[in-house]
Chains A and B, each alone.
Chain A
Amino acid sequence: MSPAITLAAGEASDHRTLITTLFAVFVAATLVITVRAGRQTKNAADFYAGGRQFTGFQNGLAVSGDYMSAASFLGIAGAIALFGYDGFLYSIGFLVAWLVALLLVAEPLRNSGRYTMGDVLAYRMRQRPVRTAAGTSTIVVSIFYLLAQMAGAGVLVSLLLGITSDGGKIGIVALVGILMIVYVTIGGMKGTTWVQMVKAVLLIAGALLLTFLVLLKFHFNISDLLGRAADNSGKGSAFLEPGLKYGATGTTKLDFISLGIALVLGTAGLPHILIRFYTVPSAKAARKSVIWAIGLIGAFYLMTLALGFGAAALIKPDEIIASNKAGNTAAPLLALHLGGVHSDWGAILLATISAVAFATILAVVAGLTLASSSSFAHDIYANVIKRGQATEKQEVGAARWASVGIGAVSIVLGALARDLNVAGLVALAFAVAASANLPTILYSLFWKRFTTSGALWSIYGGLVTAVGLVLFSPVVSGSPASMFPDVDFHWFPLENPGIISIPVGFLLGVVGTLLSKEVPDAGKYAELEVRSLTGTGAH
């Protein structure tokens, strides 16, 4: 049975026309926005930081749009639909994480950096080595994240549009890749920000609508909803308790602890999130962005609870699994069922929610492409290759070309990985961000004694440990759900490296600092500390 038939329940072609039309409308609207933003993009601060003129609320919306990926919307709703409570448990780390950004990172970063995460990491260090390291880890984190999104987009859109041929899937990946290149090269940060804001509004509106319809079905009685979900899942009250997904064995339990730590500590080290704080005029506005983001993201995850349990209550688990094994189409399926499987209303709801999911993917991949190409141009090209002597025009030109390059690489990798299970790469991106980026950000800002070699040990050590452990984990080989299920070279038992790699990253920062004879630049630290807390001389 082909997935499209399962999903579309007999009216496949109607759905497809409608979904395709809505996709096209969204794409056309975002292209208009992008071209208009492009006309207003004149200098480097416009391209990298959207001219720093967005308000706290606008940026809060854009941050939410940048952060809530298809993995959040479809993945969490699907995980709740199939595994009940454990899906909810998974979502919480993504929210709590924002407190790290709020209390420790967003404002000092806004005050002391210009365009990239590397600005802050390299502030008081030897520029070339630290910028190289920061650029490397930015690009690695962004590519992993990007790859997971691209492959996810391929699977999702193919499923929703009933495209099952290899050529069709590759075409979707290429389309997503080309769109993200266009958004970034033409619209820069301004265009990307507007696309993310529009997407956040659509996503929240879509989730609100479904949540309302689910609650209406159960007369706003949450206990009834939970009870029906538990019964319909066939798992009974276990469905409402922790354990169905992460509690299977001692190893899976440890794995979840490892994942949870990476989620909470990784968010404040994700380059595509961090550069968003440069788009507002002040640290106060950056703080306001995070507060808005916490409110919006929190509200959204609360709604996924209704979507997930709603899907579990209203749709047979077999039907969800038949459509997609990981439950990724549970939210669109829920829309179809809420509207009525054989009615126009059902088709319209399904198409709307599918278009929202597509918008979600595009906004996130644009943010990732911008973060990695900015870091390439500003950290590596301008400060390492040109040793700080590049003109603004050269630098922005390099950023545009870098986004074409990164886009092309992602298209190729995404196409090659179209049939591999790359969902684990998002978790890896968070683990690398927490192991390689966060320690250096925190030490740079708050530890006077920290040195260049500490930064290099921490960034490279955290990066290599996290990636290395995953390479030899069941994510890559040795299990039926691996990326390469037919080979087995794994020896690390966990899928999430954070529990080892994050302490390693923090520890190496200390060891590298203590072992080096380098004298920290006290003057530069005074400058960074005063700037980061007061905003003196902030860009």
Chain B
Amino acid sequence: MATETPPPATPGAPLPTTEEFAEVQQSAEFGELRRAHRSFAFPLAVAFTAWYLLYVLLSNYAGGFMGTKVAGNVNVALVLGLAQFLTTFLIAWWYARHAAAKLDPKAEAIKSRMEGGA
């Protein structure tokens, strides 16, 4: 099928065979890694997209509400816009923490075993 075979990565470490990849893919350990990534990333991706769309829809169709003054000249629209910044920063931080704790150790264990010429 493929006309290009991926060349070896780090010098001296040959790429594992297709059979080895298939075996790892079926393993419980990799299944856990996949689940740890997907169960975190997918719902969160849906959530922040929905939250952004909600904000756009409010800006479009709820002008009165958005114009409500909160403090001085600061209104709901500005607060919600700044909240988008805040949630973006928080999600980025949260994902970094999740990845370091739940993804990296699993990924590194599998990688070093596969590249160790198992």
Tell me the A residues contacting B by CB distance below 8 Å.
85, 88-89, 92-93, 95-96, 98-100, 102-104, 114, 124, 126-128, 222-224, 226-227, 230, 237, 240-243, 246-247, 253, 256-257, 260-261, 264, 283-284, 287, 290-291, 294-295, 298, 301-302, 383, 387-388, 446, 521-527, 529-531, 533-539
Contacts and interface: CB of A to CB of B under 8 A. Distances in A.
A530 B18 CA distance: 11
Contacts of B15: 536-537
A522 B61 CA distance: 47
B33 A264 contact: no
A539 to B, nearest CB: 5
A257 B61 CA distance: 11
18 contacts: A88-B78, A99-B48, A99-B91, A124-B2, A224-B73, A240-B73, A241-B67, A242-B66, A253-B60, A257-B57, A287-B99, A295-B92, A388-B4, A526-B18, A527-B21, A533-B33, A537-B16, A539-B9
Nearest to A301: B85
Nearest to B92: A294
Ranked 7 nearest A-B pairs via Cβ: A223-B72, A242-B59, A226-B73, A526-B25, A523-B18, A103-B41, A388-B4
Contact of B77 (A103, A240, A302, A535): A240
Interface string B82-114: 001100110111011001000110011011001
A287 B98 CA distance: 12
Given A93-B52, A529-B34, 7 more contacts: A104-B41, A223-B72, A241-B66, A253-B60, A530-B110, A534-B111, A536-B24
Contact of B3 (A237, A247, A387, A446): A387
Central interface residue in A223, A256, A302, by most chain B CB within 10 Å: A223
Interface of A is mostly: helix
Nearest to B7: A539
Q: Interface size for chain B: under 10, 10 to 19, 20 to 34, or 35 or more residues?
A: 35 or more
Contacts of B84: 92, 95-96
A62 B18 CA distance: 36
Interface of B: 1-4, 6, 8-9, 13, 15-16, 18-19, 21-22, 24-25, 30, 33-34, 37-38, 40-41, 44-45, 48-49, 52-53, 55-57, 59-61, 63, 66-67, 71-75, 77-78, 81, 84-85, 88-89, 91-93, 95-96, 99, 103-104, 107-108, 110-111, 114-115
Nearest to B44: A103
A539 B9 CA distance: 5
A416 B108 CA distance: 53
A537 B88 contact: no
A257 B58 CA distance: 11
B48 A530 contact: no
A100 B88 contact: no
Contacts of B81: 85, 88-89, 92
Nearest to A93: B52
A538 B9 contact: yes
